[in-house]
Structure 1
Amino acid sequence: MTTVNTAAAVDQLSTTTLLRFATAGSVDDGKSTLVGRLLHDSKSVLTDQLEAVEHASRNRGQSTPDLALLTDGLRAEREQGITIDVAYRYFATPRRRFILADTPGHVQYTRNMVTGASTAELAVVLVDARNGVVEQTRRHAAVAALLRVPHVVLAVNKMDLVDYAEPVFADIAREFTAYASELGVPEITAIPISALAGDNVVEPSAHMDWYGGPTVLEHLETVPVAHDLTACHARFPVQYVIRPQSAEHPDYRGYAGQIAAGAFRVGERVAVLPSGRTSTIAGIDALGEAVDIAWAPQSVTLRLTDDIDVSRGDLIAPVGDAPTPTQDVEATVCHVADQPLSVGQRVLIKHTTRTVKAIVKDIPSRLTLDDLSQHPAPGQLVANEIGRVVVRTAEPLALDAYADSRRTGSFLLIDPADGTTLSAGMAGESFATHAAVNSVADEEGWDF
């Protein structure tokens, strides 16, 4: 009987869809408590985990288990009572599987929210009902919009501390929805909750009969998820060139990597970027077996009919559906480093498997979160600021627009001195070189 039940559970998990989502909000808005409540009430907490939380709660003088400790795993976090790292958790219900990222709320850790939301299909933004929409709420909404997270849930938490008043919820929902809509967030769902008491998290609240919408878990289980990478433009970043020295395969040359998007077929004409050389796919090897077709996110080895120069960092794409390589990158970035990003600064830019030298030619504007206006020519970006940048690269990059592909339209700016990540970038349209800014590169001696 146990074997049958286990097999049925495995079969059920194999047929359920997967939702990646992230939580965000200001400090003490209750993100970790919400996640803990989701895990606890959906019966996704192991007995030993719950016992450890109960023990830690007693040591802190609490009479009931602090469910926030289910995600606040670092000792420093438990001592301070705040989240300072991205805590990933995996759980499942009969209707769907979940990967969640509980991100920090403190302004100095906004960079972690970028990490947690970069692959998310949904973001849960928490707001304390007593405080309403604050600057950090707007910042998290802006990051979600920039990362093109398709679904945003506004969870108005701590409704028990405002007597479950509908007008309080309605005012916050109205303000946030107007702000996020102006940012371009396509779908916003507002839910009044009390994570501590469990109202509208997994079970409907008995205190808010004026609310007729879904609970948080119900919405997570039913929100439509469309992450079929096989329908996107086919892209294959080359990670490794395989040339075994053996008598059995003396002329074998394969290009290994993970398909970022789309599908590739034997016999298909492809271009190798940024060189632009073309060839035909002679074979595809997957797990040691030859196949006729492969699709994202499979890791495979492609073999070409022509002996052309292909190396790590090159991008293989179908002829006629390939991005145009460019050395002038215009993008929106979220600056995540403590050191500022300044005009004229030398950086490395990492795009898929390719890393090249670059220089910051211009920072045309910085986003003002209060009214979404653009502050022109700020000169630099400091930690957690969002702005437009123009970067000139030493070698061409084959970037897609981020709107078309989150995988091949994103990049990182890196400090060449110590490898520190400076900014996370979302590529836009390439544009012509500004002669005035080009002089900065000439003076620095970087011949691009």
Structure 2
Amino acid sequence: MSIEIKAPTFPESVADGTVATWHKQPGEACAADELIVDIETDKVVLEVVAPADGVLASIIKGEGDTVLSEEVLAIFEAGAVASAAPAAATAVVADVTATDAEKIGPAARKLIDENNLDASKIQGTGKNGGITKEDVQNYINNPSAAAPVAAAAPAPAAKPAAAVINVPVGDRVEKRVPMTRLRATIAKRLVEAQQNAAMLTTYNEVNMKPVMELRKQYKDLFEKVHGGTRLGFMSFFVKAATEALKRFPAVNASIDGNDMVYHGYQDIGVAVSTERGLMVPVLRDTDSMSLADVEATIADFGKRGRDGKLGMDDMQGGTFTITNGGVFGSLMSTPILNPPQTAILGMHKIQERPMAVNGQVVILPMMYLALSYDHRMIDGKEAVQFLVTIKDLLEDPARLLLEV
């Protein structure tokens, strides 16, 4: 039975997508729910899986093609058995000699063509010795580990871009790589944020010693009680920001045209760095979340972000954002707004510094905080008081429980 494999249904905020990677080739067998193709959108990478056991009969949309919501990507034969030598797969490697045993998928072929590589030198680890995208990438990263070539074989003609792969030390080279849709969208949104908002940043610093001591005292018990969930610093910042947002509603608001939209809930986005770019999944109703809930959800976001499993629903909405450049060693920075939100909090590296306390010089673990805000919505007084509230709550964590 023939089944049309269609692109997922995109939400209203996503116009179209791009076919990123075909994981199966025409003629290959697929198990039910096995990954067939990745669709990259402006926000996330969506996975399309096999609807049943069968064979991928033909591909309609190749890698790099733009697709609309629910557009047909391929034809799938449910219950069919994989052929020994599918014609479509043969067509993909038509430029390889007939005696060549490798099978090269579209993703691998694209990478080979972009880098002007000799496919005969690449050791395939796929099915029946097929060359995968990972095999090509491994060859690019470590060409010395390539499959040996027979001495009698003539040396391939030199190719113009070969120097990009094997470059003698000291040579000046350049490599042009097109932006992914996600990276291009991030760039566009960041530029729009700077052009369309009256963005200012206010700074403060917080003594992290009370939170660090509390964490040190209870982290083992916390992890034991909450099923392996580790107690980090981000949960304290999320809860402190939630309390501050309740006290300063303008910081939790957004601008829609000439309207100011005040939100009666706190949905806090947490910036997650992934190989595909910066993503901001959202913690929903943080006022009702415990520290353990926050830590567990953030850990799940991080894992799914690295695996490319974050969905669009995870990143829709959000009334405020927290970004932590300190995990990369940043001492101070100016975070950029995440429209249509009107404020973003930047965390930074914890560093011991000499501080004056009651006339005495004391070494304390300090962190710089930065709050970027849209001056169209938030006055400087509110922004400063908001940041001071977070500082006070973190320097006396008991106030988080007492809400004072």
TM-score tier after normalising by the smaller chain length:
under 0.3
Q: Larger Rg: 1 or 2?
A: 2
Q: RCO higher in 1 or 2 (8 Å CA, sep ≥ 6)?
A: 2
TM-score, structure 1 normalization: 0.23
The structure that is helix-richer by fraction is 2
The structure that is strand-richer by fraction is 1
TM-score, structure 2 normalization: 0.25
